[in-house]
Structure 1
């Protein structure tokens, strides 16, 4: 089933109320309007994820919990405003992995591929692959450059560390973190029956970027 306006409305009201009892009384709305469409999208994406990388784990358990971690409740808010899922290889404790992700919140929604926080050795592998002209890295950059769906995200260094490289390479090399992200607040897209098909098509198109990250990960594994 597609998302409806009830999904962002519920997330907004639940976050604003910050009331555990209200959430319990309205949990069926959360299940129907948020969780079921999320699960159906994961199910739809599973064959594609298996084609891109058989190690990627696709499961409803990859949907984030709506309750905040008690360690992060310094503001007194019990609930998260955003709900997302992250599809990735089995994750080691406290070690970020490249992932395909999708999120919704009361203000916007979006999807993408990349890191929450790329480990320094993996980032160095990515940079080396780019500067050495590795075919996987060049294909990823060419794929990104010719599309208009995703924006490259990640904090940039204040100083250009690779002045001799082409500008499109610098866009990757001078970042502390890497992800390609599509963000929207267009209700015609969000509430469309074709949303999951669009997400799948975009993930398939940008897959070479994931392949670059996965290869950089594997290089680090082989070192160890």
Structure 2
């Protein structure tokens, strides 16, 4: 059961930011295990259990490892300075599918729903759906805007694929797309009640999640 992160979580995250070495990590590994890895796994499991039971969604969860892929290390930093978990469907290319996520870093935290890297084909289907039935996404976008919790995120095409007005204008020309909520500092994460809040905010994103997945069976035009 998630009992909250704590001040030692924050201390470790800032520590690895400025001391990203094997020697420092080994000296502080127990703090990592007790105050970052363990509560992250507890949070992921609690949220996954509550969220999937309520929505009957076929999701698993993944908790990131702190160790960076040695084959891709170019700056000498062996460890990630942020950690995350995701709720996702079992898929061979999860980065191109919509996932719910939570991430913690030294400065604060973020969570939401979106694609790590949507394919061009997926975004082509997205635009085709908006063109054929704009009201469907408008309803979802309006509801999310009224909740005043999430911000739309994702790189945009330098050459626009088309023009939309109103709510859909900031959605249409994205290369990939996410809805993100963020907070500075970690104090809200110290409470066990944060798991409940995360479930509640994820719940607001379920209509968009279903919209994204409904694109998978369509043909791009």
TM-score for the superposition, normalised by structure 2: 0.88
Is 1:188–2:194 an aligned residue pair? no
Q: Distance in 2 between matches of 1:9 and 1:118?
A: 34
Which residue number in structure 1 is paired with residue 60 of structure 2?
57
Which residue number in structure 1 is paired with residue 143 of structure 2?
143
Which residue number in structure 1 is paired with residue 155 of structure 2?
155
Which residue number in structure 2 is paired with residue 34 of structure 1?
36
Partner SS state of residue 76, structure 2: coil
The answer as to whether partners of 1:8 and 1:104 remain within 8 angstroms in 2 is no
Is 1:48–2:39 an aligned residue pair? no
The answer as to whether partners of 2:138 and 2:167 remain within 8 angstroms in 1 is no
How big is each residue's C-alpha offset from its partner over 1:151-195, in whole Å with a ceiling of 9 and x where there is no partner? 0001123354333x3221121111111000011114432322321
Matches within 5 A, 1:166-181: 166-181=165-180
Which residue number in structure 2 is paired with residue 74 of structure 1?
74
How big is each residue's C-alpha offset from its partner over 1:190-211, in whole Å with a ceiling of 9 and x where there is no partner? 3223211111110001211111
Pick closer, same or farther for the CA change 1:218–1:42 going to 2, 3 Å: farther
Pick closer, same or farther for the CA change 1:111–1:214 going to 2, 3 Å: same
Q: Distance in 1 between matches of 2:119 and 2:89?
A: 15
Q: Distance in 2 between matches of 1:35 and 1:68?
A: 15
Root-mean-square deviation (CA, aligned residues, Å) is: 2.1
Which residue number in structure 2 is paired with residue 12 of structure 1?
14
Gaps of 5+ in 2: none
Greater Cα offset, 188-197 or 172-181: 188-197
Gaps of 5+ in 1: none
TM-score for the superposition, normalised by structure 1: 0.87
Q: Distance in 2 between matches of 1:204 and 1:95?
A: 21
Q: How far apart are residue 2 of structure 1 and its match? A: 0.4
The number of aligned residues is 217
Q: Distance in 1 between matches of 2:95 and 2:24?
A: 35
Pick closer, same or farther for the CA change 1:9–1:43 going to 2, 3 Å: same
Pick closer, same or farther for the CA change 1:53–1:174 going to 2, 3 Å: farther
How big is each residue's C-alpha offset from its partner over 1:56-84, in whole Å with a ceiling of 9 and x where there is no partner? 113xxx11111111122100111111101
